[in-house]
Amino acid sequence: MPLITYRDALNQALREEMERDPSVFLMGEEVGVYQGAYKVSRGLLEAFGERRVVDTPIAELGFTGIGVGAAMVGLRPVIEFMTWNFALLAIDEVINSAAKLLYMSGGQIPIPIVFRGPGGAALQLGAQHSQAFESFYAHVPGLKVVAPATPHDAKGLLKTSIRDDNPVVFLEGEMLYNTKGEVPEGEYTIPLGQADVKREGDDVTIICHSKTVAPALKAADQLAEQLQLSAEVVDLRTIRPLDVATVLASVRKTNRCVIVEEGWPFCGVGAQVVHEIQHAAFDDLDAPIERVTGADVPMPYNKHLERATKPGPEHVIAAVKRVAYLD
């Protein structure tokens, strides 16, 4: 199987879906002539022309609404945000328009649109450029929220998101674009709402998504080596709809759980997952669930302080020790 980057996997998904369906188009800042701020759209302008690869002014609210309007009459826009931080300017159109139009119209007006771009912290970009927004959007009925961790998942999930008849918030990891992974040649899709067990284990469940899958897997390796603990790593892949069944099946097997996410702790994704587990699998738990999250602060610039905010393997290991009563 070819080894390609997360960036190229997304590019393949866009290219294939645009070839497959003439109603799919890509719109955003620097997606065309510049080839994408993160080069996800490299080569697409040459392949599909200005009609379908549309460079916009820096006007997130405006072009996001234009995308939603185009979706209202049956086109399938893919709206790229240069980063999800800038999408805050457009959140009115995402929440008040895209997420609600089907319901407010009594089912008359579906909104088949994908909002995508990099989210989460990169390196020393400061407070306004280092935010994980999964829980913001996952809060809203009417939206689907996807956050893939690997090139394989990124491609399969983006293709499915583009074909979905609902607004999909597709959060890519800014630090994942250069990571490589095996991606099959040819057509495949991955259903939304299906978690993936990235590593099987018996002693503890580590639930994660997007950028935190890598530190979770690293922690699992070290736990096996150093403590002979067998960790199961569950990658949610889709935050909404949430694959509760896969989470519960794992927790019922291991009886212990740690949830890892890059975002802030308060009302985070993990808080919802904790609820689902305690509600359905209370008697299966041998210890209180632990959460590992980004620090509850705006992101500092200093690299040592920044590192201290981010969930790493060491934090995951410490949390696993707590749920295993080993610390």
Q: Where does this chain bind other proteins (CB under 8 A)? A: 25, 51, 56-57, 59, 61-75, 77, 92-93, 96-97, 101-110, 112, 141-142, 144, 165-166
- For the chain, the distance separating the N- and C-terminal CA atoms, rounded to the nearest angstrom, is 42
DSSP E strand stretches across the chain: 3-5, 24-28, 53-55, 76-80, 114-119, 144-146, 168-173, 180-182, 196-199, 204-208, 231-235, 238-240, 257-260, 290-292
Q: Check if 129 is active-site.
A: yes
User: In this structure, what token pair is assigned to residue 308?
Assistant: 């201290």
User: In this structure, what token pair is assigned to residue 293?
Assistant: 């999250």
The answer to whether the CB of 318 falls within 8 A of the CB of 223 is no
Shortest distance, position 111 Cβ to other proteins, whole Å: 8
Name the active-site residue from 17, 19, 50, 60.
60
Can you give the length of the chain in residues?
327
Shortest distance, position 40 Cβ to other proteins, whole Å: 22
Q: Report the residue number, 141 or 186, with the smaller CB distance to other proteins.
A: 141
Residue 255, phi then psi, degrees to nearest 5: 65, 5
- Residue 221, Cβ neighbours under 10 Å: how many? 12
Q: Report the residue number, 238 or 250, with the smaller CB distance to other proteins.
A: 238
Q: Check if 50 is active-site.
A: no
Q: Report the residue number, 101 or 320, with the smaller CB distance to other proteins.
A: 101
Shortest distance, position 266 Cβ to other proteins, whole Å: 26
- Name residue 28's beta-bridge partners: 55, 80
Shortest distance, position 254 Cβ to other proteins, whole Å: 32
The answer to whether the CB of 172 falls within 8 A of the CB of 10 is yes
Rounded CA separation 203/224 (Å): 10
CA distances from residue 101 to 22, 72, 143, 171, 286 in whole angstroms, order as listed: 24, 9, 11, 22, 44
Q: Report the residue number, 100 or 253, with the smaller CB distance to other proteins.
A: 100
Shortest distance, position 235 Cβ to other proteins, whole Å: 23
Q: Report the residue number, 143 or 233, with the smaller CB distance to other proteins.
A: 143
Which are the catalytic amino acids?
A: 60, 129
